[in-house]
Amino acid sequence: MVDAAEGTPVAGSTLLTPGAAPQPTGGMIRFSSQWRERLAAGPESDLGLTEQFRRLAATLHHAHLANGLSDVMLTSASPGDGKTLTAVNLALVLAESYRYRVLLIDADLRRPSIPDIFEQSDGCGLSEALTSPTEQKLALVAITNRLSLLPAGRPISNSIEALTSPRMRQILEEATSRFDWVIVDAPPVSAATDARLLAQMVSGTLFVIRAGQTQSPDVQRAVDAIGREQILGVVLNGVEGTGPTPYYYGHPRD
Ligand SMILES: Nc1ncnc2c1ncn2[C@@H]1O[C@H](COP(=O)(O)OP(=O)(O)OP(=O)(O)O)[C@@H](O)[C@H]1O
Ligand SMILES: [Mg+2]
């Protein structure tokens, strides 16, 4: 287990600028009220839910130790399957239970949603950095001492151009070198080619399926589009009677 040094400045940083440390109030995470009970941290968190995400995080932790896995993307076949919920909870548990330094990237540049969860005011983010003619420093948002957020910024429609830019690769490279874990919240595969492009830039993909909602032909199409070899595992979200419960069925590649 990596016990990340809190707030350690990182040498060689070019694009990513650490956010101000969160207020030392103990709770310190500013969750929005409609997400609080679905998150695996904070005073209103559900123990059963937190436990499920610890199991998922444990698998990633072992893959990190065994083969250096340190960046994953979350995607799914359709909108609303639970990608963002899973990405945020995974990032929280890796940071708070496993004490990794984690960067959560909101890479849904067309419809960013993470700002809603953390009650973070809409500001600049990835989309501005990728579309600006000049190189810009990107201010990260400190969610906890160990968890930072790279917000998506303002929604853009030309996200394919932005995501395929050399700057995007530079940002991901810097992120993986500075953090123990980089968790990328991606759009659904059905929306555009964004998720397919992003899948080629990260070490592996966790595929979210919403129980009772995601249709199996859509899953098949999405998995084929991403590439089966890119998929590390599947998170089955929302099994009836158990609340928002993710299951991890796959095994990260050796
Ligand atoms: N297991 C669950 N139980 C209850 N609510 C859930 C569950 N999973 C997700 N939700 C809720 O469903 C909505 C959609 O979830 P989320 O935003 O995580 O999906 P998404 O796949 O990221 O969607 P999008 O494709 O629009 O980005 C949110 O309001 C979220 O809180
Ligand atoms: Mg989402």
Residues 200-247 have pLDDT tens digits of 999 999 999 998 889 999 999 999 999 999 999 999 988 766 555 555
Query: What's the CA gap between 207 and 81, in Å, rounded?
Result: 10
Q: Is residue 2 part of a domain?
A: no
What is the DSSP code (8-state) at residue 248? B
Q: Is residue 187 part of a domain?
A: yes
Phi, psi of 56 (to 5 degrees): -65, -45
- Averaged confidence pLDDT in the chain: 83
Pick from 53-57, 100-104, 114-118 the range whose average pLDDT is largest.
100-104
Write the CB contacts of 103 (distance below 8 Å, at least 6 apart in sequence).
16, 140, 148, 149, 150, 175, 178, 179, 181, 182, 183
- Ligand 1 pocket: which residues have CB below 6 Å? 38, 76, 79-85, 108, 113, 188, 237-238, 244
**Structurally, how many domains does the chain consist of?**
1
- Measured by CA distance, the residue closest to atom 16 of ligand 1 is 82
Q: Is residue 100 part of a domain?
A: yes
The three-state secondary structure class of 5 is coil
Q: Is residue 95 part of a domain?
A: yes
Q: How far is the CA of 83 from the centre of ligand 1 (A)?
A: 7
Q: Is residue 83 part of a domain?
A: yes
Q: The CATH number of the domain where 153 resides is what?
A: 3.40.50.300
Q: Which residue has the tokens 């599947």?
A: 234
Q: How far is the CA of 151 from the centre of ligand 1 (A)?
A: 18
Other Cβ atoms closer than 10 A to 22: 17
pLDDT single digits (tens) 1-32: 333 334 343 444 567 877 666 554 444 556 77
Query: What's the CA gap between 156 and 127, in Å, rounded?
Result: 7
Residue 244 pLDDT? 54
Q: Is residue 4 part of a domain?
A: no
Please check whether residue 227 is in contact with residue 253, taking contact to mean a CB–CB distance below 8 angstroms: no
Q: Is residue 229 part of a domain?
A: yes
The residue segments making up the domain with residue 232 are 47-237
Long-range contacts of 61-64 (CB under 8 A, 24+ apart): 61/1, 61/94, 61/98, 63/232, 63/252, 64/2, 64/100, 64/180, 64/181
Q: Is the dihedral of CA 108, 20, 178, 83 positive or negative?
A: negative
Residue 242 pLDDT? 58
- Measured by CA distance, the residue closest to atom 23 of ligand 1 is 80
Q: Is residue 12 part of a domain?
A: no
